[in-house]
Structure 1
């Protein structure tokens, strides 16, 4: 059976190109985007009617900046720590809790907005649900990371208290 840390490693390694090639388009001007990014974005928008990536409301753009500036470096850091089997390190756990909360919360906002506003952007109920479903893994996996890392952090603190 695959360990949670191995699952997280795969998630972080997969999320690096997703962030670089897709999510970066939220904040990188179209004339500065890689051609592969533009192609992937056009395909995603056509397939999933993702009006968020077309309209880019201010709050969504701010979430994009947080992902590029905060989360992308963390994906590299987390991958390194997992590869070195340092997943019970205090800093790793604190940053994992912060990442998990931030990513789950921002994705929750995106899903809620898509469900509430989908129809006003011309999406059918089916298209709206499909769009929301695309975002669900980015709610559930960070939520799992938040809970798991929080639990590990509490255990680490308890261990420290017992040893003192």
Structure 2
């Protein structure tokens, strides 16, 4: 099971690199510095899904976006390299990333649900937007729990080794 999850995490990180660079970076990059392709993709997403987070971009959301660029993007690159090389030293980082991504997505979902009506979204549009973000809630949660369990097993092995010495 572990090898399947690691392969999934690898592709999750690989896919997130262009998503972060092309879409999520627009949260913090001013319009005049965005590439035409970024503007096109984000405009399409906003028109199609009425993503009020990208329309409004509250300050807390911009902070999340900045954190994604500065902290998570390097994790996507480094994590994909470590996972490709089957290097388990990445598990503590993946556990922390999983928590951060789960938590920030949860905050976004709560805000969309709480504020969607105030921005003129119908219940169906709110649910659609929630469904778009749910995988970014569930996958990091699974990653966090899976890597927490892996780290606990490693620490238990270390404890057993120490006791046997």
Class of the TM-score when normalised by the shorter of the 2 chains:
over 0.9
Name the residue aligned to 1:132.
130
| CA deviation after TM superposition for structure 1 residue 16, in Å | 0.5
Following the alignment from structure 2 to structure 1, what is the Cα–Cα distance between the partners of residues 8 and 91? 16
Following the alignment from structure 2 to structure 1, what is the Cα–Cα distance between the partners of residues 118 and 108? 15
Name the residue aligned to 1:61.
62
Following the alignment from structure 2 to structure 1, what is the Cα–Cα distance between the partners of residues 25 and 160? 45
Runs of 4+ in 1 over 4 A off after TM superposition: none
How many aligned residue pairs are there? 161
1:66-88 CA-partner distances (Å, limit 9, x unpaired): 100000000001000010011x2
Following the alignment from structure 2 to structure 1, what is the Cα–Cα distance between the partners of residues 148 and 37? 37
| CA deviation after TM superposition for structure 1 residue 97, in Å | 1.2
Following the alignment from structure 1 to structure 2, what is the Cα–Cα distance between the partners of residues 151 and 71? 21
Name the residue aligned to 1:118.
116
Give 1:14-93 correspondences, 5 Å limit.
14-86=15-87, 88-89=88-89, 92-93=90-91
Name the residue aligned to 1:151.
149
Following the alignment from structure 1 to structure 2, what is the Cα–Cα distance between the partners of residues 127 and 35? 27
3-state SS, counterpart of residue 67 of structure 1: helix
Following the alignment from structure 1 to structure 2, what is the Cα–Cα distance between the partners of residues 94 and 158? 15
Structure 2 length normalisation: TM-score?
Answer: 0.95
3-state SS, counterpart of residue 86 of structure 2: coil
Structure 1 length normalisation: TM-score?
Answer: 0.96
Unpaired runs of 5+ residues, structure 2, are none
Name the residue aligned to 1:162.
160
| CA deviation after TM superposition for structure 1 residue 39, in Å | 0.3
